[in-house]
Structure 1
Amino acid sequence: MRHTSNKIESILQNTGYQFPSHWMDLDGVSYHYIDEGPRDAPVLLMVHGNPTWSFYFRRLIAEFARDFRVIAPDHVGCGFSEKPQQYAYTLEQHIINLERLCFHLDLRQMTLVLHDWGGAIGMGYAVRHPEAIQRFVLFNTGAFFVPVIPFRISICRIPVVGEALVRGLNGFARAALWYATSQSERFTTEVKAGYLAPYANWHDRIALYRFVKDIPMEDTHPTRRTLNEIDKESPRFQHHPMLILWGKDDFCFTERDFLPEWRRRFPDAEVHVLEHAGHYVVEDAHERIIPLMSKFLERDRPAVKEANPS
């Protein structure tokens, strides 16, 4: 999607998502990303999950682009990226796409800011390019296998029925606007419209369904191998600075099942469990998150590159 409609532009302007769009070509597929802030500043790479898009990070982009270069891509099939119907919507492919974006922009010494599926995608990039990673900020995510799945997500994986729910009724994205928050009053008509704007029809919801299908609950699922490889290699980051900001009320990436796994793998991580915040923790608690992130990012902040002498 190279251009947005006037209706979508109006929706986004009313919700604070007013960033210029950038695209790169992935073998004929248009890949959308936001690139805000000074080009010579330290990089924050924000990686979203399903069924969100870069819109989810809009408040963080606006705040941190003052002092950082903030990159926020839309995965293929999501947001304003193209939505091909015949495509390998797998964890492996999303990692490759992120890798190509980082090469394209020559991103180095990054802080990864990860949510939901963005955890596995971002950590997948990190274990393949550890030299490029400085720090991590994690929001309700996973990069390892946990043998639990909420019923309301598992029904979306049922053949025929699941596709009808996700692509036909837009049930996955719409339901998330209710179940993924503990602060429903924040999800105004405009904010809801912003989350749903790129997913207006059956065609445009292809990635939402394929993400759900790619959850590797079965031992033989091809994505299980990718996830296990990420998990095996992730201990190399045990001593990297890591900030974990967790919405306590998350029904999916629960405090009980997922947060202990992060603590076990990264015992030195700084962890804050945020009350009255759900899976869409940034939406629910951005006022609490921004000061915590700011303090974390100011520690051992890499120096801005010096300008070349003229």
Structure 2
Amino acid sequence: MSTDEIKIPEWLRALYPFAPKSFQTPHGARMSFLDEGPRGDEAVVMLHGNPTWSFFYRDLVKLVAPTMRCVVPDHIGMGLSEKPQDYSYRLATRIADVEALVASLGLKKVHLVVHDWGGAIGFGYATRHSEMIGRITILNTAAFVSDRIPGRIAICRAGGVGEFLVRAFNAFAWPATWMSMHARKLKEDEARGFLFPYDSWANRIAVHRFVADIPLEKDHPSRATLEEIEWRLPLLADKAKLVVWGAWDFCFNDAFLDRWREIYPDAEICRLRDAGHYVPEDGGEVARAKVRDFLLNLKPVSSHAP
């Protein structure tokens, strides 16, 4: 059903002209998601990270949905989804939410597009359901253990101080609107769109919980989940993969790209030298067309990474 309770202002609808739908997760929260394009049991599932939402994929949906079904959830606490203050905002729960959504839609084949935290979530799903997975697009993300963390993110992760900065001052989502770009600046309404769901202390809960869920420590609650995902990544070695990488990412830098090369040496690589973390935004039509052509298998994807 449509999420009629969500009021999308006209300025936002001009950029995000969709009718979100609702799904109740196994943990009892309302998930907003896009379901665009021709109906069938095959779909592209696009998974965003932190602090974005399905708005991040809006232009890619417009390119792909005329030909292939596109399912784009807002993780609980993010975007237009419910923002409960007592939810289990852990990686394992995120994966279970996606599993339940996909099952509810009756999908039998899933192509993935993943970015930021969407990488761990998406590969968490894919490594458990490898028989359902088609093509995989990787956008500046990780699905393996790393001790690399920029100082500015570490501050936001630091106990009560980090939570206060993120939730009181929007000190994660707001800086991302300019720190995640390099080739260009976001237009005013584009930046407003990214920030739209995160307008209060309560509505920023999951932005902080995502930061807190980075499993740096060996005894972190999500560490075992991520380690299992990493261990199972070879199960997807035979899947066609495209990596579209913004080289000016302050967080997921080329060290992460090199790790992906090691894990999947046959993946096609499109390294955009002037793009930042928000690679579909910063890489523009070039980045989005690469992903579209790969998903729709229109032509071979060329690699021009050094």
Whole-Å separation in 2 of the counterparts to 1:148 and 1:78? 24
2:292 partner letter: S
Whole-Å separation in 2 of the counterparts to 1:73 and 1:254? 26
1:248-263 matched pairs, under 5 angstroms: 248-255=247-254, 257-263=255-261
The residue that corresponds to 2:13 in the other structure is 13
Task: Quickly say closer, same or farther: Cα 1:105–1:41, change in 2 above 3 A.
Answer: closer
The residue that corresponds to 1:234 in the other structure is 233
Whole-Å separation in 2 of the counterparts to 1:75 and 1:290? 22
1:282-293 matched pairs, under 5 angstroms: 282-293=280-291
TM-score (norm 1): 0.92
1:294 aligns with 2:296: no
The residue that corresponds to 2:272 in the other structure is 274
Size of the alignment, in residue pairs?
296
Shift of 1:28: 3.1
Shift of 1:96: 0.3
Deviations 1:166-210 (A, max 9, x none): 00000100000111111343x111111100111110000000000
The residue that corresponds to 1:172 in the other structure is 172
The residue that corresponds to 1:4 in the other structure is 6
Deviations 1:138-193 (A, max 9, x none): 100000011110000000011121011100000100000111111343x1111111
**SS in structure 1 of the partner of residue 253 of structure 2:** coil
1:191 partner letter: E
1:73-92 matched pairs, under 5 angstroms: 73-92=73-92
Whole-Å separation in 2 of the counterparts to 1:283 and 1:51? 14
TM-score (norm 2): 0.93
Whole-Å separation in 2 of the counterparts to 1:160 and 1:284? 33
1:178-189 matched pairs, under 5 angstroms: 178-185=178-185, 187-189=186-188
Shift of 1:134: 0.9
**SS in structure 1 of the partner of residue 76 of structure 2:** coil
Shift of 1:135: 1.3
**SS in structure 2 of the partner of residue 160 of structure 1:** helix
In the TM superposition, structure 1's runs of 4+ consecutive aligned residues that sit over 3 Å from their partners are 298-301
Residues 59 and 286, structure 1, Cα contact 8 Å, conserved in 2: no
Task: Quickly say closer, same or farther: Cα 1:300–1:195, change in 2 above 3 A.
Answer: closer
Residues 247 and 271, structure 2, Cα contact 8 Å, conserved in 1: yes
Whole-Å separation in 2 of the counterparts to 1:171 and 1:71? 29
Please, which runs of 5 or more residues in structure 2 have no aligned partner?
Answer: 300-306
The residue that corresponds to 1:306 in the other structure is none
